[in-house]
């Protein structure tokens, strides 16, 4: 427990510094998360003799990252399409060593890991030239929204844990995640709604609209957690990796955020259109 707490504090401090710094430091951190996340995904499916196309996946991570980091967003969909087709074509070119199920696992992994994590860049650099006032001073718009997304994710997990510990009786999804309860889920929804409403209000948004966003973040975060849980249960692993002492790997720590970050980004795009 001590190792978990200490590594958690250090990790939060490092993450806060990198998020606030932005620029190349943040870009490099996201690239590292994408590459390690893909490695963890590939290692997990090797336990089921479904090893993905490892180096093609690594190349996809680099291309997705490069398209966004260098501001060529239009290349992201092209890269996703071409790599999906290439990963399927490999089942033809290397049919004796690389099966169709492996190709499908590869495509799914590239989309799941690569496209979700690259949205960290999309959200952080959104409206980078604009500043918003926050309780801790002026902040780039995308940076403020990234904090809202991340804090909302952490609030969902934290409130769900303590609510479940105190009141949990009815299992939420026992076959996939035995420790989750409906009472914990409800507590997570309420806690996240309040947290996001308060945070959003501090940067000029209505309490009601931000509370609604908080509710949806809690729902999406729970789905993300369950998706990673079912992958681990299927592949027979306990943790996706050992990158963070006491916390597991990238996929363990970012499972909920991998769903929440894209959702918040497209929520902003939709709201921008109204």
Render pLDDT for 22-34 as a digit per residue (tens, 0 to 9).
999 999 999 999 9
7: containing domain: 1-125
- The pLDDT value recorded for residue 137 is 85
- Let me know whether 3 and 66 are in one domain: yes
Task: Point out the domain boundary residue: 125, 153, 170.
Answer: 125
Of 266, 273, 271, 270, which Cα lies nearest the Cα of 123? 266
- Let me know whether 155 and 267 are in one domain: yes
- Let me know whether 111 and 206 are in one domain: no
Task: Point out the domain boundary residue: 125, 146, 164.
Answer: 125
- Let me know whether 117 and 151 are in one domain: no
User: Is 112 in contact with 258 (CB distance < 8 Å)?
Assistant: yes
- Let me know whether 28 and 48 are in one domain: yes
- Let me know whether 135 and 70 are in one domain: no
- The pLDDT value recorded for residue 231 is 95
- The pLDDT value recorded for residue 4 is 63
- Let me know whether 270 and 135 are in one domain: yes
- Let me know whether 23 and 158 are in one domain: no
Q: Is 13 helix (H, G, I), strand (E, B) or coil?
A: helix
User: Is 41 in contact with 252 (CB distance < 8 Å)?
Assistant: no
Give the residue ranges of the chain where pLDDT is below 50.
none
Task: Point out the domain boundary residue: 73, 102, 125.
Answer: 125
- Let me know whether 111 and 144 are in one domain: no
Total structural domains within the chain: 2
Helix 257-272 to helix 141-167 angle (10° resolution) is 130
Looking only at the bridges linking them, the beta strands covering 171-173 and 137-140 are unpaired
- Let me know whether 97 and 153 are in one domain: no
Tens of pLDDT, residues 169-227: 899 988 898 889 999 999 999 999 999 999 999 998 999 999 999 999 999 999 999 99
- Let me know whether 186 and 200 are in one domain: yes
Sign of CA dihedral 180, 175, 1, 217: negative
Integer Rg of the chain from CA: 19
| Total-model pTM | 0.93
- The pLDDT value recorded for residue 247 is 63
- Let me know whether 256 and 203 are in one domain: yes
């Amino acid at each position: 427990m001590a190792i978990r707490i200490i590594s958690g504090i250090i990790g939060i401090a490092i993450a806060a510094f990198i998020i606030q710094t932005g620029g190349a430091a943040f870009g490099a951190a996201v690239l590292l998360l994408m590459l390690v996340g893909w490695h963890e995904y590939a290692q997990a499916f090797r336990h089921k003799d479904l090893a993905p196309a490892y180096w093609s996946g690594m190349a996809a991570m680099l291309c997705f990252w490069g398209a966004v980091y260098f501001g060529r967003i239009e290349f992201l969909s092209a890269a996703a399409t071409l790599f999906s087709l290439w990963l399927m074509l490999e089942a033809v070119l290397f049919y004796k060593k690389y099966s169709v199920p492996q190709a499908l696992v590869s495509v799914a992994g590239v989309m799941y890991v690569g496209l979700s994590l690259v949205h960290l860049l999309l959200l952080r650099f959104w409206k980078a030239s604009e500043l918003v006032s926050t309780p801790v001073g002026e902040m780039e718009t995308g940076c403020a929204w990234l904090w809202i997304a991340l804090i909302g994710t952490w609030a969902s997990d934290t409130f769900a844990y303590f609510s479940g510990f105190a009141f949990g009786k009815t299992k939420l999804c026992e076959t996939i995640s035995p420790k989750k309860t409906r009472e914990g889920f409800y507590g997570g929804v309420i806690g996240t709604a309040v947290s996001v409403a308060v945070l959003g209000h501090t940067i000029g948004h209505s309490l009601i609209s931000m509370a609604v966003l908080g509710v949806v973040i809690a729902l999406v975060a729970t789905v993300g957690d369950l998706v990673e849980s079912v992958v681990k249960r299927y592949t027979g692993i306990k943790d996706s990796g050992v990158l963070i002492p006491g916390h597991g790997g990238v996929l363990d720590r970012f499972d909920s955020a991998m769903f929440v970050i894209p959702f918040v980004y497209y929520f902003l795009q939709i709201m921008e259109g109204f």
